[in-house]
Copies of this chain bind each other. A is one copy, B any other.
């Protein structure tokens, strides 16, 4: 579902929490963190999606009712593709969307497109990650639901892209509007606090993709509460 279609066209801010392979978000901890996200989402009326590892999707999706996204889907379908992660398998496990081409799991252009098609054919929401304005333009041209622009040097830095490099966010928003205005722009890298999120929204983003700032926080609930005050 495209963001612009939610609530009769009123765009809701989307927060996607990437669990990466953090110890604090693997196995039972993935389920526990997802429950915190669900509770905050409900309490504060915000949209939070969680993106656990493939092997954790089923446990998480059974435990919470907020959207669960895969971190990666290969551009292959049913067949002889040992070790690949298919859209069909993550959907069967309960996922309703996926990141594609995250900075830590970059794909070839043809595979991004194939992965996007696989997501579409399974009805999964798609978020293509990009690293600058030019790749954001290219990704938008493929017509995913979202692109998430994350300058790699800021990922995990604690320095929010919305402050350190507002131009990459603004430029991405403009580039996407010029090419495919239905594609929502998320903003990632270094986002932690409500301030960062608010700055991202003011730059034209419809949401944020974040990870370490919440997952590795001493108090995950408190960190999430701080974040959602930015909505």
Interface set of A (CB-CB < 8 Å, partner B): 18, 20-23, 26-28, 53-59, 70-72, 76-86, 88-90, 92-93, 95, 99, 101-113, 130-132, 134-135, 137-143, 155-156, 179, 211-212
Contact = CB atoms under 8 A, between A and B. Distances in A.
Contacts of A95: 55
Contact of A89 (B27, B80, B211, B212): B27
How many identical subunits does the complex contain? 4
A13 to B, nearest CB: 22
Chain B CB count within 10 A is highest, among A21, A93, A104, for A21
Given A28-B92, A55-B58, A105 B82 contact: yes
Given A109-B109, A134-B142, 4 more contacts: A21-B77, A107-B109, A138-B138, A140-B141
A99 B84 CA distance: 12
A104 B81 contact: yes
